Amino acid sequence: MKEEIAKVLAMVQAGKIDADKGSELIEALKEKEGGSNILTKKHDFSQNDGPRASKYLDKMLKIRVISSENDNVTVNLPLKLVKVVLMAGHSIASSIPESAKYMQDVDINMIIDAIENELDGQIVDIKSANGDTVSVIIE
């Protein structure tokens, strides 16, 4: 299932499908596998909680990994899709040896809490001794 979710994420990143369609596809994959729906664990973002929530969910979660070896990663995700992507993406990235070392210090639950509390700005800033950096920003 990780491969299917990665394909959906790649389609969203490439602009082939929008965030809402990506979210629907990932939810369908989760249901097919019999897994729980991540979107409903703490808060159902599909419900409209008013104009403020809608405007907040139009923002992007930006993840930047800058490596001293120039193995850089840039990911921009609409907040509407983020909660689904966080759990799947963290699991996928953690299983890839080249990215696992960057993911071990990222607290996914902290990011989910930041979204649920409608935080803006930089929420993760990690700098390693060898010059690698990981930043997670909501804007």
pLDDT along the chain (139 residues), means of 10: 76 79 78 52 44 72 90 86 72 72 73 78 88 90
What's the pLDDT score for residue 50? 52
User: Sign of the CA dihedral 16, 18, 21, 23?
Assistant: positive
Cα gap 71→32, rounded to integer Å: 35
Q: State both tokens at 122.
A: 């930089």
What's the pLDDT score for residue 46? 45
Cα gap 82→85, rounded to integer Å: 5
pTM greater than the 0.75 cutoff: no
Cα gap 75→62, rounded to integer Å: 6
